[in-house]
């Protein structure tokens, strides 16, 4: 069994208002082959929204790596680079 | 985030709150549109000047003003801010349309596109009930003096060559209250409007705006007034971390107390069940719910025949207002929910002083720098019962009343029906109910699909 990917979604109020609420539905959108390979966590404010150098809210962290301007689409793309299995039709 | 208009609206609201909190709103308000659309930045509309103008109107509505007012173009935002500060007036209506924001979309009509092959079968010509389609030069043509936009031709065209252009606000409005005025821009007829907020949710240009009381709420808190928040039951599905943390977050902004509107829903349930029993014992055939304000307005303005069947029991918001007044007679009360119609009901409720949406609450917390998830659990004196908290979902009201009825009145039979989402056909359907032509003795009507949780100002749909 390989290690699971840790997907942390910032649910600080600003991230939540600007898209994290929708990102929290990501588990329902993952292809079946990925479902037991990703652990999704809602986490409190990472205090990144006040910085201007790393993109804009909402933020996620994928195995420790921060990603700004996160959408379902961009998170899927980032996961696909880490997961060798081809997702079926999403 | 479902769309860009929504994102920009929330970003602006968060900024507005942050400037207020930092005490810099007076100094900076005129510059906000320029800060968001600086020189040489990309624009969402035709140019940054247009964007800035619409941002200005949106900020006016955040202060509670009507952005259709004469003279608003030359008057600086700081002037409006001063007026909001000194007058503390409630908005006269919950909604307004910004002519600068409105695209003046082309009239709704049937269009034949270049996909048309001028085919031999011509099902469009044959299916048209008004003989409005002819084929000239191998291309179908619509006679607009005859066309009734029924759309039959769309369905039968084998090439999908016929489309119907829509005006999204007009298309969304269930009562024909939003229409183009002489200039081609949308305008709301408040004699018809039921405040359902469907135009607000559907306009892709964000031109339909709420006249907010956010500024009133913040300034009363800043000025040291005691302000109590009344939070609608649907909040439990809207924010991260559950309502215990949410209530603590609300208190962290400076609200003196936070009360569940579900406690009001308990009283609505109890009294509505009693009223229903009384009505049935008197021989009445039908009673409808009254907690959805858009529905109550729909009956009042468009289906008067049903008026006598609408329950006279106060809504959960009104009961919660009474509870709050009893507990804190010296405080101002703020209803917080996913609804635009409740803003209108709040204008008329003596125990509700202001109303806010979930979107405004979220922006208030974000702009204030309050992280909901890291809050402690709020010490709730007594949590509302589950059926009352469930009012926010379609059929929740019926479930609650049914539960209340069970036991003592087993001889009465509850035959419940639902209208889950008001659309253009609902007024007609209600007239049929009034005539007794449809079955059921208890009718629950919710304007939003799925109930309040599907409200126009909800964060998660």
Q: Which string of DSSP letters, residue by residue, matches B437-453?
A: -S--SEEEEESSTTSGG
Q: What average pLDDT does this structure show over A43-60?
A: 86
Report how far residue B445's alpha carbon sits from residue B433's, in angstroms, rounded to the nearest whole number: 12
Separation in Å, CA of B330 to nearest CA in chain A: 31
Mutate which of A8, A13, A71 to disrupt the B interface (most B C-beta within 10 Å)? A13
Contacts with B, A 41-80, CB within 8 Å: 42-45, 58, 71
DSSP states along B317-370: HHHHHHHHHHH-TTSEEEEEES-SHHHHHHHT-TT--EEEEHHHHHHHHHHHT-
Centroid of chain to Cα B211: 12
Structure tokens at B56: 């200005």
From the list A11, A13, A58, which residue is nearest B370 (CB)? A13
Question: Is the CB of residue B370 less than 8 Å away from at least one CB of chain A?
Answer: yes
Question: Is the CB of residue B69 less than 8 Å away from at least one CB of chain A?
Answer: no
Contacts with A, B 337-366, CB within 8 Å: 359, 362-363, 365-366
Is A2's pLDDT higher than 90?
no
Mutate which of A9, A16, A44, A50 to disrupt the B interface (most B C-beta within 10 Å)? A16
Report how far residue B385's alpha carbon sits from residue B294's, in angstroms, rounded to the nearest whole number: 25
Specify the CATH number of the domain B4-104+170-215: 3.30.70.20
For chain B, report the end-to-end CA distance as a whole number of angstroms.
10
Q: Are B459 and A17 in contact (CB < 8 Å)?
A: yes
Question: Is the CB of residue B35 less than 8 Å away from at least one CB of chain A?
Answer: no
From the list A14, A21, A45, which residue is nearest B459 (CB)? A21
Question: Residue B94, by phi and psi: left (phi above 0), alpha (psi -120 to 50) or beta?
Answer: alpha
Question: Is the CB of residue A28 less than 8 Å away from at least one CB of chain B?
Answer: no
Question: Is the CB of residue B460 less than 8 Å away from at least one CB of chain A?
Answer: yes
Q: Are A42 and B240 in contact (CB < 8 Å)?
A: yes
What angle do the packed helices B4-22 and B214-222 form, to 10 degrees?
A: 20
Report CA dihedral (A44, B18, B201, B305) to the nearest 10 degrees: 110
The residue behind tokens 């907020």 is B197
- Residues of chain B neighbouring A12 (CB-CB closer than 8 A): 371, 373
pLDDT value at residue B28? 97
From the list A21, A44, A58, which residue is nearest B460 (CB)? A21
Separation in Å, CA of B240 to nearest CA in chain A: 7
**Domain ranges, ordered by start, for chain A:** 5-66+78-82
Q: Are A17 and B362 in contact (CB < 8 Å)?
A: yes
pLDDT value at residue B85? 93
Q: A34 falls in which pLDDT band (50, 70, 90)?
A: confident
For B169, phi then psi, to 5°, come to: -70, -45
Q: Considering only the top CATH level, what class is B109-165?
A: alpha beta
Is A7's pLDDT higher than 70?
yes
pLDDT value at residue B402? 76
Report how far residue B391's alpha carbon sits from residue B2's, in angstroms, rounded to the nearest whole number: 26
**Which residues does residue B230 pair with via DSSP β-bridges, in sequence order?**
B259, B335
Question: Is the CB of residue B7 less than 8 Å away from at least one CB of chain A?
Answer: yes
Peptide bond into B272 cis (omega under 30): no
Question: Is the CB of residue B428 less than 8 Å away from at least one CB of chain A?
Answer: no
- Residues of chain A neighbouring B372 (CB-CB closer than 8 A): 11, 13, 16
For A71-87, what is each residue's pLDDT tens digit? 999 999 999 988 876 65
Q: Are B1 and A18 in contact (CB < 8 Å)?
A: yes
3-class state of residue A19 by DSSP:
helix
**Which residues does residue B96 pair with via DSSP β-bridges, in sequence order?**
B209
3-class state of residue B286 by DSSP:
coil
Q: A88 falls in which pLDDT band (50, 70, 90)?
A: low
Q: Are A18 and B460 in contact (CB < 8 Å)?
A: no
Instruction: Report DSSP state, residue B105.
Output: P
Total beta-carbon pairs less than 8 A apart between chain A and chain B: 54
Every domain range in chain B assigned CATH 3.40.950.10: 217-454
From the list A11, A14, A19, which residue is nearest B373 (CB)? A11
How far apart, in Å, are the Cα atoms of B12 and each of B155, B353, B399? 42, 25, 40
**Which residues does residue B418 pair with via DSSP β-bridges, in sequence order?**
B444
- Residues of chain B neighbouring A11 (CB-CB closer than 8 A): 240-241, 372-373
CA-nearest residue to B365 within chain A is: A13
Mutate which of A8, A9, A10, A14 to disrupt the B interface (most B C-beta within 10 Å)? A14
Q: Which residues of B194-219 are buried (b: 16+ CB within 10 A; e: fewer)?
A: bbbbbbbbbbebbbbbbbbbbbbbbe
Every domain range in chain B assigned CATH 3.30.70.20: 4-104+170-215, 109-165
**Which residues does residue A62 pair with via DSSP β-bridges, in sequence order?**
A7, A65
Report CA dihedral (A22, A25, A29, A32) to the nearest 10 degrees: 160
pLDDT value at residue B341? 97
Render each residue's pLDDT in chain B as its tens digit; 461 residues: 568 889 999 999 999 999 999 999 999 999 999 999 999 999 999 999 999 999 999 999 999 999 876 667 889 999 999 999 999 889 999 999 998 999 999 988 999 999 999 999 999 999 999 999 999 999 999 999 999 999 999 999 999 999 999 999 999 999 999 999 888 899 999 999 999 999 999 999 999 999 999 999 999 999 999 999 999 999 998 999 899 999 999 999 999 999 999 999 999 999 999 999 999 999 999 999 999 999 999 999 999 999 999 999 999 999 999 999 999 999 999 999 999 999 999 999 999 999 999 999 999 999 999 999 999 999 999 999 988 898 888 778 888 887 777 666 767 888 899 999 999 999 899 999 999 999 999 999 999 999 998 999 988 87
Structure tokens at B438: 């449809």
Residue B309 contacts by C-beta under 8 Å, 6 or more apart in sequence? Answer: B284, B286, B287, B288, B433, B434, B443
Q: Are B371 and A12 in contact (CB < 8 Å)?
A: yes
Q: Which CATH superfamily is domain B217-454 in?
A: Fe-only Hydrogenase (Larger Subunit); Chain L, domain 3 (3.40.950.10)
Residue A28 contacts by C-beta under 8 Å, 6 or more apart in sequence? Answer: none
Question: Is the CB of residue B38 less than 8 Å away from at least one CB of chain A?
Answer: no
């Amino acid at each position: 069994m390989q290690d699971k990917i840790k997907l942390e979604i910032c649910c600080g109020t600003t991230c939540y208002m600007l898209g994290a609420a929708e990102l929290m539905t990501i588990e329902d959108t993952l292809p079946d082959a990925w479902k037991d390979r990703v652990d999704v966590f809602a986490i409190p404010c990472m205090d990144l929204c006040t910085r201007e150098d790393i993109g804009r809210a909402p933020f996620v962290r994928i195995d420790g790596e921060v990603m700004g301007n996160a959408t379902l689409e961009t998170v899927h793309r980032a996961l696909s680079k880490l997961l060798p299995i081809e997702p079926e039709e999403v | 985030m479902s769309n860009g208009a929504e994102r920009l609206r929330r970003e602006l609201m968060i900024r507005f709150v942050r400037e207020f909190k930092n005490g810099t709103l007076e100094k900076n308000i005129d510059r906000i549109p320029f800060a968001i659309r600086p020189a040489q930045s990309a624009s969402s509309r035709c140019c940054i000047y247009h964007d800035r103008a619409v941002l200005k109107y949106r900020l006016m509505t955040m202060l509670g003003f009507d952005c259709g007012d004469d003279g608003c173009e030359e008057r600086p935002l700081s002037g409006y801010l001063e007026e909001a500060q000194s007058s503390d007036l409630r908005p006269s209506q919950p909604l307004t349309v910004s002519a600068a924001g409105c695209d003046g979309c082309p009239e709704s009509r049937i269009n034949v596109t270049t996909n048309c092959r001028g085919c031999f079968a011509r099902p469009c010509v044959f299916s048209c009930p008004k003989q409005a389609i002819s084929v000239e030069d191998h291309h179908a043509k619509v006679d607009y003096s005859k066309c009734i936009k029924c759309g039959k031709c769309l369905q039968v065209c084998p090439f999908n060559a016929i489309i119907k252009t829509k005006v999204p606000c007009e298309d969304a409005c269930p009562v024909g209250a939003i229409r183009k005025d002489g200039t081609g821009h949308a305008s709301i007829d408040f004699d018809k409007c039921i405040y359902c907020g469907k135009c607000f949710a559907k306009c892709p240009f964000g031109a339909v705006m709420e006249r907010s009381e956010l500024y009133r709420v913040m300034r009363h808190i800043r000025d040291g007034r005691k302000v109590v928040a009344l939070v609608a039951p649907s909040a439990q599905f809207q924010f991260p971390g559950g309502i215990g943390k949410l209530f603590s977050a609300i208190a962290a902004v400076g609200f003196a107390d936070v009360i569940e509107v579900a406690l009001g829903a308990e009283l609505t349930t109890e009294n509505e069940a009693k009223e229903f029993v009384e009505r049935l014992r008197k021989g009445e055939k039908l009673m409808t719910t009254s907690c959805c304000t858009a529905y109550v307005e729909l009956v009042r303005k468009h289906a008067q025949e049903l008026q006598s069947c609408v329950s006279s029991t106060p809504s959960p918001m009104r009961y919660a207002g009474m509870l709050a007044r009893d507990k804190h007679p010296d405080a101002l009360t703020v209803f917080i929910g996913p609804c635009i119609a409740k803003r209108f009901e709040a204008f008329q409720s003596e125990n509700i002083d202001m109303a806010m949406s979930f979107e405004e609450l979220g922006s208030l917390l974000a702009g204030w720098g309050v992280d909901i998830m890291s809050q402690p659990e709020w010490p709730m004196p007594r949590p509302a019962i589950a059926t009352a908290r469930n009012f926010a979902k379609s059929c929740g009201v019926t479930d609650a009343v049914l539960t209340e009825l069970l036991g003592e009145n087993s001889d009465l039979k509850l035959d419940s029906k639902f209208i889950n989402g008001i659309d253009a056909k609902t007024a007609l359907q209600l007239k049929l109910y009034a005539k007794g032509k449809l079955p059921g003795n208890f009718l629950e009507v919710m304007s939003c699909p799925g109930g309040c949780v599907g409200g126009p100002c909800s964060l998660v749909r």
